[in-house]
Amino acid sequence: MKVSYLPSVICGLLLTAQIGLAQGPASYRGDRVFIINAPIKDAGDFRALAKQAVRLKKYGRVQLNVSTLADKSFHEIPKQGSPWHEYASNNPSPFKFFPDPKLAPFIPTDFVKKNRQMLLEKTKILREAGLEAAFFGYEPNFLPEAFFDAYPRMLGPRVDHPRRSTQKAFAPCIDTKETQEMYAGMMAEMLKNAPEISSFFFKTNDAGAGICWSHWLYTGPNGPSKCKGVAMGDRVHTLLQTFQDGAAKAGKKLDLYLDEASSNFSDAEKDEIQRNLPNNCFFENTPDHKMINVGSMVSSNYPVTGIIDPVSFIRSAASVNDPSVKKVFINFRVSYDRGYERLDATEMVFEMLEYMLNKNQSNETTLSKEEDLKALCTLWAGKNSGDKLYKAFNALSNAYSYKGSVFPRVSSLYWGVTTRHITRPLVIAPERLTAEEEAYFLPFVFNVSKEEARNDYTDVHGSRNTIPPGVVANFVKQMNDAASLFESLDASAPKKEFFSKMGRSVRIHASIIRSSGNFAQAQVIRDRNKEKLGVPAHFPSKEPNFTGDPDFIPFVDVARDELDNTQSLIDLLEEGGLDLVIFSKDPIYEDRFVLGPDLIKQLKKKRKVMLDHWGDIEGYLASPFK
């Protein structure tokens, strides 16, 4: 069936969408809350996102996250550097906005002032728009060592990751009365200053935060001896109730959420926590209080922006009008608050969500997921290209499904950015690079060991990873085929410009994964030839043959593919793709999670270094000759 011949019910829905859904049925539900997370620092962008979000007010309460730090917590990172501390350097916590008098002397005054000023500016924008605020954070977050020197009784668990940090870090013990008083006081102070905050959402036991004696702390269960016997359900109850007590002091009723998906708890601990929640606190989904998550693909495609996947979105949002769905989390946040989705893509997400909210209000037959997708495609691409867009979205979804089934652990964030596969040179003998040749990438490889960072292409945050041979090439082809469809929409398509950019975004993401596949394959060859590579360069053999060492041609093939892939990425970025990538605008903010402002220059440096060392392999593996 061609998209242009749609059932009448779809046509009706499309007409509703095209007129802005302003005349949709009265569907406000006061018990349904939309909570939007985008770590925006620019006031203009935040105001624009709030303006987009206003459309959801007729379907429930709408809240935007206001907890983004105005600046990175440089003071928390040890002088010698520490990958783990960089994880947490953007962590929001109330003490970075409204520190307790005990804690304030240990936090830079200007840092706190800037954070508070930006939070209050955002709440003002929301107040003017008739929207509410939410605060996303990490708790109990680690505190300065000097603080615990001054208040040793509050010392809680060690929460850093031994294989990822160069300096230990501790969080406060929530079972200590002084900690409870401090936390309640900071929450009260924050809500008095920003009464628009109606929800507090936090994760723990990961990336900067931790709870005493939890099973899955990175150093193992640990904490003060005095609280070792406290059940985890009681311990978390105390933490949540402490926040509620603080809210009560400010005369505020607060919805509290402990992030079940991202916090590290054992199954036994999760059961305990769920059974012991205070009132108005939420952890796991329950039959009468469900929470769903939707958004763009910016989190899984980082550092690339502007990709949407309506196939998975429709699936995730299918139950949005079920009365048991009370909270809808809309995520536009990436890489530990390092960036956020482009505003043209957030607009598309809101359009999809509003379509799902509106279409299920009808008493007519519920549409199938395929019909929903076709309806959106016709809305965005028109009759001439609706079918092509439908095929493009299905091709994209199939590519993601393939990757999720075959090599799910490979991400463009952890493989591409934090190992710097994107910008580092792929060579047979990394130890032969000079200090100058390493200077632009090696400090940004996530590893506490310089030697491991240099020599192991598949060390990802201290663990060894592999990719099955051939699967990346399959994924890259599928992604580029989908990109071609997005880029070929008819000029009359209403969203032609957006999908042209999206096609380029898809290609950039595919290029990053292609790099990771090449580095993984190169490391397999290097591992196989460890003994040959472990001696000084020499003339390996004088026996003539057409193949040389069995691994000579395979390695050169991988290196050439990476050389060509790098040039293709340079071309994509120079032709407008740089606007589709998240990178630091100032060199001071380049770190293991953020690419530098000279990204194209670094890619060109990568190609030059690879070519300068192209012949290094001949000192270890025999080349073909006759």
Q: Is the dihedral of CA 387, 389, 392, 393 positive or negative?
A: negative
CA distance 59 to 287: 21
**Reduced to 3 states, what is the DSSP secondary structure of residue 108?**
coil
Tell me the C-alpha to C-alpha distance, in Å, between residue 442 and each of 159, 465, 589.
26, 19, 16
* pLDDT tens, residue by residue, 79-131: 999 999 999 999 999 999 999 999 999 999 999 999 999 999 999 999 999 99
The answer to whether 486 touches 506, Cβ cutoff 8 Å, is yes
Place of tokens 């979000």: 53
pLDDT single digits (tens) 198-223:
999 999 999 999 999 999 999 999 99
3-state secondary structure at position 367 = coil
| CA–CA distance, 140 with 169 (Å, rounded to integer) | 12
The mean pLDDT value of the chain amounts to 94
- The 3-state DSSP class for residue 286 equals strand
Give the pair of three-digit tokens for residue 593: 């999670």
Would the pLDDT of 11 be above 90? no
Is residue 140 reached through a cis peptide bond, with omega within 30 degrees of 0 on the bond before it? yes
| C-beta of residue 482 within 8 angstroms of C-beta of residue 297 | no
Question: 463 by DSSP, 3-state: which?
Answer: strand
When pLDDT is cut at 50, 70 and 90, the band that residue 400 belongs to is very high
> What pLDDT does residue 282 have?
98
Cα separation, 13 vs 21, whole angstroms: 9
pTM above 0.85, yes or no: yes
Distance CA 566, CA 425 (A): 10
Residue position matching structure tokens 């990438």: 441
Quick one: DSSP state of residue 68?
-
Q: Is 174 exposed, middle or buried (0-12, 13-18, 19+ CB in 10 A)?
A: buried
Two tokens, residue 591:
């770190």
Domains of the chain: 29-360 (3.20.20.80), 407-619 (no CATH)
Residues 386/388/389/394 CA torsion (nearest 10 deg): 130
DSSP 8-state symbol, 92: -
Cβ-contact 458, 519 below 8 angstroms? yes
Instruction: Give, for 469, the enclosing helix (H) or strand (E).
Output: none
Where does residue 227 rank: exposed (0-12), middle (13-18), buried (19+ CB within 10 A)? middle
Find out whether 253 and 213 touch, Cβ atoms under 8 Å: no
Contact 362, 9 (CB under 8 A): yes
At 260-280, the pLDDT tens digits run 999 999 999 999 999 999 999
For residues 374 and 25, which has the higher predicted lDDT (pLDDT)? 374
CB 190 within 8 A of CB 100: no
pLDDT tens-digit map of 318-372 = 999 999 999 999 999 999 999 999 999 999 999 999 999 998 655 444 568 999 9
Helix (H, G, I), strand (E, B) or coil at 173: coil
* Confidence (pLDDT) at 252: 95
